[in-house]
Amino acid sequence: MGSKRHSQRVSEVVIRTRADGARELRVNGVFVMDDVETSSERRLAELVLERGARDVLVGGLGLGFTTRRLLEDTDVRRVLVAELHPAVVESSDIEDPRAEVVVGDVRTVLAEQPDASFDAVLLDVDNGPDFLVHDANAGLYEPTGVADAVRVLRPGGTLAVWSMADSPALRDALAEHLEDVQAEAVPVRLQRRDEAYWVLTGRRSPGDIVRA
């Protein structure tokens, strides 16, 4: 797994092993994720694999479950991951020549990519649009941020976004630029309760003309 570095916002990142043996990621004291319930992170990858994605850009490495699920598919050619926090990258044990991690803001990484260069863009940044750890990430989920992601999608490509909750505002932002916008609830078990996380998707029109 290759990596390179951009400048990034300074945050307190803690990856620890809890008393119950689970690994946990916290940013600025806020719980982000653990390795106990990972079905929604894996589902984020599966939704685009089911649509034949081969070249994928991932915003957010986290504990690596989305990226690992992508790499389980031998048809996947390339996974480019943008991760804001160097400590998260340093803790990763992903070793696959198809994967490259860039330390930096996902919008910066998106801006550096050629037009129509990916089959899918996956965003698992912060806790989704409505439960932000970094207020600066809000723009990623607004129409201009969605447009940044859509630009690098090939015609027919998919933008998929992980969220703690369904988000009507995000659905509207996706619908400004994409077709077939959907929101899928992913059942999860949290602290002995049945809950759901969400994956919202939209598809770039297969008929879009990409100018060279």
Tell me if 147 is assigned to some domain: yes
DSSP state letter for 114:
P
Domain count, the chain: 1
Tell me if 115 is assigned to some domain: yes
Mean per-residue pLDDT over the chain, rounded: 88
Tell me if 210 is assigned to some domain: no
pLDDT score at 53: 99
Cβ–Cβ under 8 Å, residues 42 and 50: no
pLDDT score at 7: 42
- The residue-averaged pLDDT of 33-50 equals 88
Domain span holding position 72? 2-203
Tell me if 101 is assigned to some domain: yes
| Residues 133-185 pLDDT 10s | 677 888 899 999 999 999 999 999 999 999 999 999 999 999 999 999 999 99
pLDDT score at 127: 73
CB atoms within 10 A of CB 132: 16
Return the percentage of the chain with pLDDT > 70, whole number.
85
Residue 4, pLDDT above cutoff 60: no
- Residue 21: both structure tokens together: 């043996």
- Cα 94 to Cα 4, 104, 115, 169: the distances in Å are 15, 18, 27, 34
Tell me if 94 is assigned to some domain: yes
Tell me if 68 is assigned to some domain: yes
Tell me if 212 is assigned to some domain: no
- The residue-averaged pLDDT of 84-98 equals 87
Could you tell me the CATH number of the domain that includes residue 133?
3.40.50.150
pLDDT score at 129: 84
Tell me if 211 is assigned to some domain: no
- Cα 71 to Cα 17, 98, 100, 143: the distances in Å are 25, 8, 12, 30
| This prediction's pTM | 0.86
